């Protein structure tokens, strides 16, 4: 009202030359009223956004305090999220800070909600500790400690039990490291400093969490390490703020793992291996509690897509696993190219079938052999299971491997360099993790265009399982080139090269091609046929050769003869009865 009156006066007075002297006064009054109105409106309707904006601005300046100054009295949004989430709201918070500069920490005033702010000291990891040192290609598996370099961690004994651990997380390209030749280079996605801060935070969360929730907050321009901080545990994220309420049991399992693949992972003590113990305890509990104490849901899983060539392989794989008396489920993902007839055989072999739509590899060329390999990512959608052991259908299992369910995601045997082999791996299904993988598939390049290359970019921090779990049938000059036998202590055989069921059983047809000699092993070949012999007759029918496959084998045999290959396998007469019952 007052405002309208004044403006009318102003308008009328502009035409009145005699009131010129009163104009500054009117303008002043106008200003005053506007100011009072503004003040009133902010007092009664505080704008929540405004506080966060101020807060965020303070953060982005390297010398600004990361905590709101005296002018702002409300806690920042991320802290409010935690205050509202806690069960014991009346209690004040103990907050630990990792990797903040002194200037970023000064003037801490958390609106009286925090009783104690603790600065956690972590000595910066030496720049000559590179990812290659944490993830060496080869280790002596008999050395239980491995050769893991020392990565400084905070000593939890020095600090009170915290409610929140806040860490400033370095992002890609921030760290410079020094390689063995003394050259400086950017750390990229395999950044030891980033790992150190993530692990230090995890240690403190785990140590602080006895009978209470502890939150991990990251201030980072990039996503925190999803190997340690599961997207399922992310309760809030905006801009550079990531608030996690970690599942402490899972996090504890991870911080107990070696810092890299420089040592063999050790199984999580007292997990499903002792499920009988769990069961015994459960029987003494009331019924509702028995359900939650049931043994974990675990399964082996494989996938068939784009071709029926591996149907027989998957049948033999299921039979080989069942022959070890597993207690786990067997799940097979199949796309539309797998016929109803094949599905019947796969079911008889022991697989539970799930139909899927295949997923195209983002960078695959037209008709490339790995065009649909990203379909494998769908295993993360099997959320009716807690843990899965994925196993490619060109494997057979020789002895029971159920004990490997005691390892966390992502555990696998090594491939080369710092990479794991995705032929057999332990994983924990999660919807948000699957969505995350799907989202990133256009921005993260796969080094080989397949799922293995992609997964190794997204999950750079993984846990080493013994080489015995993934015996790759590969014999070069260094690797047991002489006798080409599968050592007795191996758990599986991974049939690289031409698959046994696409050869005749008389000998490993990898011998018939000079460039495939590295894959040739009559011993491994015979092991696969032993599984075949154990199979019921109506399953063996699924391993027939097509006319085309038969012609291929014979052509290569003839060419081996013409080339007079010195191993002379081409001299062996084909007796396999499958040659007389070619399938359509």
Ligand X SMILES: *[C@@H]1O[C@H](CO)[C@@H](O)[C@H](O)[C@H]1NC(C)=O
Task: Select the span of 16-24, 84-92, 240-248, 445-453 touching ligand X (CB under 6 A).
Answer: 445-453
Per the structure block, which two tokens stand in for 239? Answer: 């801009």
| 456 belongs to the binding site for ligand X (CB under 6 A) | no
Task: Select the span of 108-116, 380-388, 448-456, 471-479 touching ligand X (CB under 6 A).
Answer: 448-456
194 in Cβ contact with 124 (< 8 Å) = no
User: Pick from 94, 112, 114: which is nearest to 156 by CA?
Assistant: 94
Length of the chain: 584
| Residue 271 or 326 with smaller CB distance to ligand X | 326
| Residue 242 or 434 with smaller CB distance to ligand X | 434
| 451 belongs to the binding site for ligand X (CB under 6 A) | yes
| 149 belongs to the binding site for ligand X (CB under 6 A) | yes
| 370 belongs to the binding site for ligand X (CB under 6 A) | yes
Q: How far apart are CA 510 and CA 499, in angstroms?
A: 9
| 373 belongs to the binding site for ligand X (CB under 6 A) | yes
Q: Which of 42, 57, 106, 448 binds ligand X (CB under 6 A)?
A: 448
Which residues in 475-514 contact ligand X (CB under 6 A)? Answer: none
Task: Select the span of 277-285, 292-300, 450-458, 527-535 touching ligand X (CB under 6 A).
Answer: 450-458
500 in Cβ contact with 309 (< 8 Å) = no
453 in Cβ contact with 447 (< 8 Å) = yes
Tell me the closest approach of the beta carbon of residue 354 to ligand X, in angstroms: 17
Task: Select the span of 47-55, 124-132, 212-220, 327-335 touching ligand X (CB under 6 A).
Answer: 124-132
Q: How far apart are CA 161 and CA 210, in angstroms?
A: 9
| 362 belongs to the binding site for ligand X (CB under 6 A) | no
Task: Select the span of 12-20, 135-143, 449-457, 477-485 touching ligand X (CB under 6 A).
Answer: 449-457
Tell me the closest approach of the beta carbon of residue 78 to ligand X, in angstroms: 37
| Residue 261 or 370 with smaller CB distance to ligand X | 370
| 129 belongs to the binding site for ligand X (CB under 6 A) | yes
Q: How far apart are CA 235 and CA 237, in angstroms?
A: 7
Tell me the closest approach of the beta carbon of residue 314 to ligand X, in angstroms: 11
Tell me the closest approach of the beta carbon of residue 249 to ligand X, in angstroms: 31
Which residues in 205-244 contact ligand X (CB under 6 A)? Answer: none
Q: Which of 452, 460, 470, 521 binds ligand X (CB under 6 A)?
A: 452
Residue count, binding to ligand X (CB under 6 A): 16
Task: Select the span of 122-130, 219-227, 431-439, 529-537 touching ligand X (CB under 6 A).
Answer: 122-130
Place of tokens 């974990």: 296
Tell me the closest approach of the beta carbon of residue 398 to ligand X, in angstroms: 10
| 128 belongs to the binding site for ligand X (CB under 6 A) | yes
| Residue 85 or 457 with smaller CB distance to ligand X | 457
| Residue 241 or 351 with smaller CB distance to ligand X | 351
Q: Which bin fits 173, alpha (ψ -120 to 50), beta or left (φ > 0)?
A: left
| Residue 78 or 300 with smaller CB distance to ligand X | 300
User: Pick from 200, 203, 275, 261: which is nearest to 418 by CA?
Assistant: 261
Q: How far apart are CA 244 and CA 230, in angstroms?
A: 8
Task: Select the span of 9-17, 125-133, 135-143, 329-337 touching ligand X (CB under 6 A).
Answer: 125-133
In Å, how far are 241, 261, 553 from 530, measured between CA atoms?
56, 34, 21
99 in Cβ contact with 197 (< 8 Å) = yes
Task: Select the span of 108-116, 121-129, 137-145, 484-492 touching ligand X (CB under 6 A).
Answer: 121-129
* Contacts within 8 Å (CB) and 24+ apart, 210-213: 210/161, 212/88, 212/161, 212/163, 213/85, 213/86, 213/87, 213/163, 213/245
In Å, how far are 162, 542, 549, 555, 560 from 584, measured between CA atoms?
68, 12, 11, 19, 27
| 450 belongs to the binding site for ligand X (CB under 6 A) | yes
The radius of gyration computed from the CA coordinates of the chain, to the nearest angstrom, equals 32
Which residues in 545-574 contact ligand X (CB under 6 A)? Answer: 564, 566
The SS3 of residue 119 is strand
Q: Which residue is nearest to ligand X (CB)?
A: 450
Tell me the closest approach of the beta carbon of residue 321 to ligand X, in angstroms: 11
Task: Select the span of 110-118, 195-203, 346-354, 442-450 touching ligand X (CB under 6 A).
Answer: 442-450
Q: In what order do the strands lie in the sheet with 114-120?
A: 114-120, 93-98, 164-168, 215-219, 241-244, 234-238
| Residue 57 or 128 with smaller CB distance to ligand X | 128
Dmax (CA) of the chain? 123
CA torsion angle 289 290 292 293 (round to 10) = 120
Per the structure block, which two tokens stand in for 211? Answer: 């009978």
What is the separation of C-alpha 138 from the centre of its chain, rounded to a whole number of angstroms?
22
| Residue 68 or 372 with smaller CB distance to ligand X | 372
Per the structure block, which two tokens stand in for 134? Answer: 């944490």
Pairing of strands 184-186, 114-120: unpaired
| 335 belongs to the binding site for ligand X (CB under 6 A) | no
Tell me the closest approach of the beta carbon of residue 373 to ligand X, in angstroms: 4
| 134 belongs to the binding site for ligand X (CB under 6 A) | no
Sketch the per residue contact string, 81 through 120, with ligand X: x for CB under 6 A, - otherwise: ----------------------------------------
What is the separation of C-alpha 516 from the centre of its chain, rounded to a whole number of angstroms?
33
| 421 belongs to the binding site for ligand X (CB under 6 A) | no
Q: Which of 7, 12, 279, 324 binds ligand X (CB under 6 A)?
A: 324
Give the residues lining the site for ligand X (CB under 6 A).
126, 128-129, 133, 149, 324-325, 370, 373, 448-452, 564, 566
């Amino acid at each position: 009202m007052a405002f309208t009156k004044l403006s009318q006066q102003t308008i009328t007075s502009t035409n009145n030359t005699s009131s010129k002297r009163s104009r500054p006064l009117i303008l002043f009054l106008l200003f005053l009223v506007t100011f009072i109105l503004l003040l009133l409106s902010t007092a009664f309707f505080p704008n929540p956004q405004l506080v966060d904006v101020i807060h965020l601005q303070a953060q982005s300046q390297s010398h600004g305090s990361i905590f709101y100054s005296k002018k702002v009295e409300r806690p920042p949004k991320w802290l409010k999220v935690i205050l509202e989430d806690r069960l014991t709201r009346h209690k004040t918070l103990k907050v630990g800070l990792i990797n903040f500069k002194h200037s970023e920490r000064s003037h801490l005033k958390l609106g009286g909600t925090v009783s104690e702010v603790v600065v956690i000291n972590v000595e910066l990891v030496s720049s000559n500790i590179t990812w290659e040192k944490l993830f060496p290609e080869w280790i002596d598996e008999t050395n239980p400690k491995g050769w893991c370099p020392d990565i400084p961690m905070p000593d939890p004994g020095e600090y009170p039990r915290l409610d929140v651990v806040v860490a400033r997380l370095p992002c890609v390209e921030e760290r410079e490291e020094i390689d063995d030749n003394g050259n400086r280079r950017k750390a990229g996605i395999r950044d030891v400093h980033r790992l150190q801060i993530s692990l230090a935070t995890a240690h403190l969360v785990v140590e602080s969490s006895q009978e209470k929730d502890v939150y991990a907050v990251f201030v980072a321009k990039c996503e925190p390490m999803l190997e340690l901080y599961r997207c399922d545990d992310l309760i809030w994220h905006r801009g550079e703020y990531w608030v996690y309420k970690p599942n402490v049991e899972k996090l504890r399992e991870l911080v107990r793992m070696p810092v890299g693949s420089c040592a063999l992972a050790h199984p999580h003590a007292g997990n499903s291996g002792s499920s009988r113990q769990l069961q015994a305890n459960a029987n003494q509990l009331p019924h509702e509690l028995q359900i939650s104490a049931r043994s974990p849901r675990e399964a082996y899983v494989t996938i068939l897509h784009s071709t029926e060539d591996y149907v027989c392989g998957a049948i033999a794989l299921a039979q080989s696993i069942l022959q070890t008396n597993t207690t786990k489920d067997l799940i097979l993902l199949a796309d539309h190219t797998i016929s109803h007839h094949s599905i019947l055989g796969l079911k008889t072999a022991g697989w539970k079938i799930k139909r899927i739509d295949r997923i195209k590899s983002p960078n695959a060329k037209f008709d490339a052999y790995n065009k649909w390999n990203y379909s494998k990512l769908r295993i993360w959608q099997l959320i009716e299971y807690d843990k899965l052991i994925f196993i490619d259908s060109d494997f057979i299992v020789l002895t029971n491997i159920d004990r490997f369910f005691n390892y966390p995601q992502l555990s696998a045997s090594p491939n080369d360099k710092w990479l794991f082999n995705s032929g057999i791996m332990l994983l924990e299904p999660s919807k948000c993790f699957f969505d995350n993988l799907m989202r990133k598939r256009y921005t993260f390049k796969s080094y080989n265009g397949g799922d293995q290359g992609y997964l190794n970019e997204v999950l750079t921090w993984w846990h080493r399982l013994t080489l015995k779990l993934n015996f790759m049938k590969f014999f070069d000059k260094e690797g047991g080139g002489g006798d080409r036998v599968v050592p007795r202590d191996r758990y599986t055989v991974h049939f690289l090269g031409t698959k046994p069921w696409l050869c005749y059983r008389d000998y490993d047809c990898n011998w018939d091609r000079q460039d495939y000699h590295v894959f040739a092993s009559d011993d491994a070949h015979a092991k696969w046929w032993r599984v075949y012999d154990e199979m019921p007759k109506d399953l063996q029918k699924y391993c027939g050769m097509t006319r085309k496959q038969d012609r291929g084998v014979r052509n290569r045999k003839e060419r081996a003869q013409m080339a007079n290959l010195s191993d002379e396998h081409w001299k062996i007469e084909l007796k396999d009865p499958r040659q007389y019952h070619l399938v359509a």
